[in-house]
Chains A and B, each alone.
Chain A
């Protein structure tokens, strides 16, 4: 059973556009992490969100943790070709010990 659903699954946009990626679950998470994976490499940790309602910014990337800690979003402002990659959310659901990854969003930013 996949506990972390991401949407959209695929996204292709033009350079300069804004976009939002969603990570949703019916379970509560004590924290969630976001990773970006570029072709030929492993996922790289971008951020950890811990508190319900928390917002973190990393340059043009804004991460938000839902108030109930069941969902998270990643917003990219003025996307650039260098943002191209697979974005993954991940975490440990309350009551479990397993660290799970979301289904992933594959982003392509066209120059």
Chain B
């Protein structure tokens, strides 16, 4: 089991550019989550999918953020256009169900300059 795989690990981009973060969940996990973590705000849930369907996107900060899950093994989080305040570590996590706990990827550290 390779765990939850995220790419890239680090991304540095200029303000106004489009950024795409990628995630491969654990096979057999039917729920996938995107989180953002900063020192000030801790872990914030952005969006979650169940069986590839977006269930709750109330945590997505603005229309500049969008997420897709075209199949059970792949999800993307896109920011367009990016802004310096989007700088954070973005985590993807998957689970079979809350009582099993979540498995997190290693995260993507995004820096927007």
Contact = CB atoms under 8 A, between A and B. Distances in A.
Given A42-B93, A101-B42, A101-B43, A31 B99 contact: yes
Interface stretch (A66-74, A75-83, A91-99): A91-99
B45 A98 contact: yes
Interface residues of B, number: 18
B101 A45 contact: yes
Kindly state the interface size class of chain A when it binds its partner: 20 to 34
Given A101-B42, A104-B42, A33 B106 contact: no
Contact of B42 (A35, A40, A103): A103
A91 B101 CA distance: 8
B105 A42 contact: yes
Given A98-B45, A101-B42, A101-B43, A44 B104 contact: yes
A55 B113 CA distance: 47
Q: Which of A88, A99, A104 counts the most chain B CB atoms within 10 A?
A: A99
A52 interface: no
Interface of B: 4, 33, 42-43, 45, 56, 91, 93, 98-107
Interface of A: 30-31, 33, 35, 40-45, 48, 50, 88, 90-92, 98-101, 103-104
30 contacts: A31-B99, A35-B101, A41-B106, A41-B107, A42-B4, A42-B91, A42-B93, A42-B104, A42-B106, A43-B43, A43-B91, A43-B104, A44-B104, A45-B101, A45-B102, A45-B103, A48-B99, A48-B101, A50-B99, A91-B98, A92-B98, A98-B56, A99-B45, A99-B98, A99-B102, A100-B45, A101-B42, A103-B42, A104-B42, A104-B43
